[in-house]
Structure 1
Amino acid sequence: MNEPGLRRWWVRLAQAAGLVATGLLVLFDLRYGTSVGLSPAALLLLLVRMGLAAATVPLWLPVHRLGSRRLPAAALALAAASLFVTLAIRLVADSGYLLGGSWGLAESAGLVAVVFAVTRWGAARVAPWAATATGLAAAAIPLRAGADSVYVIFGLLQALAAVGAAAVGVYLRVVAAGRARAIALVRAEQRAEFARDLHDFIAHHVTGIVVQAQGARFVAERDPQRVIAALEQIERAGAETMASMRRMVGILRNPDAAPDAPLAPLAGVADLTPLLDGFNGTARTPARLHVDGALDGLPVEVSTSAYRVVMEGLTNTRQHAPDARSVDVFVRRTPDWLLVRVADDGTAPRTPPARGHGFGLVGLTERVRALGGSVTAGPGVAGGWVLDAALPLQPAAVR
């Protein structure tokens, strides 16, 4: 199971557990509330408590969008309603009219859960105020049953629970923000790497075009036929350069991200054999290359990205599958796609490299998706680990 699927499974499990717990607390409140009799005032109070408890569910149950403004606003309204009910009950109790019943455990638990949801997903400017108001409402609920010291202690305990929920929410928010910054940094570095690749490729081919144009000028009078051949080569190189430049510049968002880089050919699918030879020279696991189709004439960004896919797959095998007996690298070319697969037969349990502190697959996914392709990684059907990538060869395939 991949990371997003595992996260969704845990979220659904937590939602189901929360609903079950809320249902049990509601049943407790109903049983305890009806045990003191069903006077009109007690029945009205019971219905109000159940309504407030139910109103908390839409706030803490869903996974809200980070920075939501509606969530803190709804929490403030709910906290105000709960505090108003508590104040009204105290006024009635102070007048000598005893309502009886519990103070509402379902509502208390719901408000504590709302504190967590607000601190985790609420808008940063409003979330502290909404969390504070909701926590105060949860702390004041036990006073509905009386002003004795035992109810004050229960109020303090519920206040501590609200503080704990807020701390957990803030912690998860900070962790998620840190991971988002790390992923954004990886993506920015990947785009900068695209820019360096663009610089290398354009410089390499433009230099060849200049050399061919200079040579054609010198042989123009002696051998006009060679001039025609040179012009054809210049035309092909220029067309390939412009096509790749249009595709890659469309990927880059920051035009100033391209630093100076050495003028050198880029590593592509033609360099896979030396890459596997180097891997076999340093690893106990033999790697085999399987090629289906001609690999010449590939767009440079597709060729270099395929090379990076294989390199990431071999690195993943070296780091996470020391017991693997073999690694197979498959490269297949179709009319519209270049398909790359790196599969090993390791038995050691692994998680997707995008989890934890590994961001190699994150950057690789950003690179391939920028070209209109896709990357998947996970356990193979027959065991081991499989890294698959599909890279489009034509702009039409991207669309």
Structure 2
Amino acid sequence: MFRSVWREPRPAAAPPHVWWDRALVGVLVVTAVVEGAARPDVSPRVPSIVISVLLVLSLFWRRTRPLPVVAFAFGLCVLSAVVAGREFPDQYVLVALLLLPFSVFRWGTGRELVLGAAFVLTKLGVSAVLGYLSLADTAAGIVVLSMAMAVGAALRYRSRARSRELDQVKLMEREQLARDLHDTVAHHVSAMAIRAQAGIATSAADPGAAVDALKVIDAEAARALDEMRGMVRILRTQEAADRSPGPRVADLERLASLSNPSVDVRVTGDADALPSPVGAAVFRLAQEAVTNARRHARHATRIDVRVTVDDSEVRVLVTDDGVPRQTGPRGYGLTGMIERASLLGGTCEAGPNPDRGWTVSAVLPREVTA
């Protein structure tokens, strides 16, 4: 158990700084100066203010350098307490240092977790041995700091679990797209095989039929090759590919049969000529967007699905007139839609409308690109 914790890597998503980190440090620095100047029991005043400001400034690097910051802050507290002969500094603003053990458990490596906890406990132990803290105060300090570290660990593993779930959603979308592409390639290869057999059977009596068969085989082979190139973007074993027919743009009419709220589908342009992976993606994106609108848009009376096909790209626009729920972390459905669009070289965005409702907008290239 200890070895697995020791070898644990740093979490992947650790933002170096966010705006409220700078705001927090700024507010705490001002608070440390004002408290040190206003409280009559702060002594010696100037060293206490200087050390408090240094400790507060260390919070700025708590995400990127959690262990060095913990070592600096708690080491400085121990050193100043030994030199001063008491707990020093003792300003209330230093309760913000609880963010340091939280940060090392949230963003540190496994080694940093262990060493950071050791630094924190060492500081409490030194204060207790020197008589600066009573047994009850030491126990209370251990409990409070342990709670801060536990919260950091909980958020760390919660983020990891969500990342795994998002990866699973992306994998499912890759598998679905792989099934759609499998159907297309199987169709082209079957057509080539049938025409080849027909050309062989009629070549003796009608050489022209064999030439026609070769032309069809050439065209089908070119289409299959283009769509096979799109497959290289999908990391998935092919054995599990389902051979059921994939959806097409024409299948969007199924969405129009839904009610409460009603769904209006309009397709502009030559959608029948789209490659199968693109047509399947258009259907899946519109289907997921309509499902999300029916599930999350409160008081919605209408959902509009618009598909526009031109010479170079396909645009999918799904809007509703409902009241969107409070914004939060990106859902798995939207993550899957973005993944599906990106695998085909396109984009997908979603967000609330200025007045009312929600819009999902996707742009896909007309041809599958490698």
Bin of the TM-score, shorter chain as denominator length: 0.7 to 0.9
Question: What secondary structure is seen at the aligned counterpart in 2 of 1:126?
Answer: helix
Is residue 294 from structure 1 mapped to residue 270 from structure 2 by the alignment? yes
Shift of 1:121: 0.7
Does the C-alpha gap of structure 1 residues 232 and 263 become closer, same or farther in structure 2, counting only changes over 3 Å? farther
The aligned counterpart of 2:59 is 57
Distance 1:126 1:202 in 2: 51
> Is the Cα–Cα contact under 8 Å of residues 204 and 264 in structure 1 kept in the other structure?
no
User: What's the TM-score once normalised by structure 2's chain length?
Assistant: 0.83
Aligned partner of 1:170 in structure 2 is: 153
- Distance in 1 (CA, whole Å) between partners of 2:187 and 2:339 is 25
Deviation of 1:34 after TM superposition, in Å, equals: 8.0
Report if the CA contact (8 A) 1:52-1:82 is conserved: no
Contact 2:265 2:305 in 1 (8 A): yes
Classify 1:265/1:101 alpha carbon distance in 2 versus 1 (closer, same or farther; 3 Å): closer
Q: Which of 203, 214, 228 is matched with 1:231 structurally? A: 214
SS at match of 2:166: helix
Match of 1:87 among 69, 75, 82: 82
**Residues 86 and 252 from structure 1, CA distance in 2 versus in 1: closer, same or farther, beyond 3 angstroms?**
same
- How far residue 391 of structure 1 moved from its aligned partner, in angstroms, is 0.8
Matches within 5 A, 1:327-342: 327-342=303-318
**2:157 aligned counterpart, secondary structure:** helix
Tell me the C-alpha RMSD between the 2 structures: 3.1
Question: How many Å separate the matches in 2 of 1:28 and 1:345?
Answer: 52
* Match of residue 276, structure 1, among 247, 250, 255: 255
1:285-341 Cα deviation digits (max 9, x unpaired): 221122222113222221111110011012112212363222111111233221101
Distance 1:101 1:29 in 2: 12
SS at match of 1:84: helix
Report if aligned partners of 2:59, 2:69 keep a CA contact under 8 Å in 1. no
Q: What is the CA distance between 1:203 and its match in structure 2?
A: 1.7
Q: How does 1:140-289 map to 2 (within 5 A)?
A: 147=132, 149=134, 156-249=139-232, 251-254=233-236, 257-273=237-253, 275-277=254-256, 279-280=257-258, 283-289=259-265
Q: CA deviation at 1:387?
A: 1.0
Partners of 1:362 and 1:43 in 2: CA distance:
54
Q: 1:178: how far off?
A: 0.9
Match of 1:316 in 2: 292
Is the alpha carbon distance of 1:350 and 1:165 closer, same or farther for their aligned partners in structure 2, counting shifts above 3 Å?
closer
CA-to-aligned-CA distance 1:143-166 (integer Å, 9 cap, x gap): 99x7375xx655554443322211
Matched AA of 1:121? W
Shift of 1:389: 0.7
Residues in 2 aligned to 1:213 and 1:307: alpha-carbon distance in whole angstroms: 33
Residue 44 of structure 1: CA displacement?
A: 6.5
Q: Secondary structure at the match of 1:323?
A: coil
Letter in 2 for 1:242: L
Q: Deviations over 1:41-64 (max 9, x none)?
A: x3673255235424422233xx54
- Alpha-carbon offset, residue 223 of structure 1: 3.2
User: Given that residues 275 and 368 in structure 2 are in contact (C-alpha distance below 8 angstroms), is that contact kept between their aligned partners in structure 1?
Assistant: no
Contact 2:352-2:358 at 8 Å conserved across structures: yes
* Equivalent runs, 1:28-177 vs 2, <5 Å: 28-32=35-39, 36=43, 42=44, 45-46=47-48, 49-60=51-62, 63-64=63-64, 70-90=65-85, 103-106=90-93, 108-134=94-120, 136-137=122-123, 147=132, 149=134, 156-177=139-160
Contact 1:103 1:142 in 2 (8 A): no
Asked if the contact 1:196–1:259 (Cα under 8 Å) also holds between the matched residues in 2, the reply is no
Shift in alpha-carbon separation, 1:33–1:48, aligned structure 2, 3 A: farther
1:139–1:341 CA distance, 2 compared to 1 (3 A): farther
How far is 1:393 from its partner?
Answer: 2.4
How many corresponding residue pairs?
354
Asked if 1 retains the 8 angstrom alpha-carbon contact of 2:266 and 2:307, the reply is: yes
Partners of 1:349 and 1:242 in 2: how far apart? 44
Hey, what's the Cα distance between the residues in 1 that align with 2:137 and 2:34?
20
1:391 paired to 2:364: yes
2:78 partner letter: L
1:307 lines up with 2:283 in the alignment: yes
What is the letter of the counterpart of residue 288 of structure 1?
A: D
Residue 76 and residue 235 in structure 1: after superposition, are their counterparts in 2 closer, same or farther (change >3 A)?
same
Residue 103 of structure 1 aligns with an amino acid whose one-letter code is: D
Q: Is the 8 A contact 1:115 1:135 kept in 2?
A: no
1:343 match: secondary structure: strand
Which amino acid in the other structure matches residue 321 of structure 1? Answer: A
Task: State the distance in 2 between where 1:378 and 1:73 align.
Answer: 40
> Which structure 1 segments of 5+ residues have no match?
1-7, 37-41, 65-69, 94-99
The TM-score normalised by the length of structure 1 is: 0.78
The one-letter code sitting in structure 1 at the alignment partner of 2:301 is: R
Preserved contact between residue 111 and residue 134 of structure 1 (Cα < 8 Å): no
User: Helix, strand or coil: the match of 1:378?
Assistant: strand
Is 1:361 the counterpart of 2:334 in the alignment?
yes
CA distance in 2, matches of 1:147, 1:118: 26
Say which SS state the counterpart of residue 113 (structure 1) adopts.
Answer: helix
* Partner secondary structure for residue 110 of structure 2: coil
In 1, Cα distance between the equivalents of 2:255 and 2:61? 54
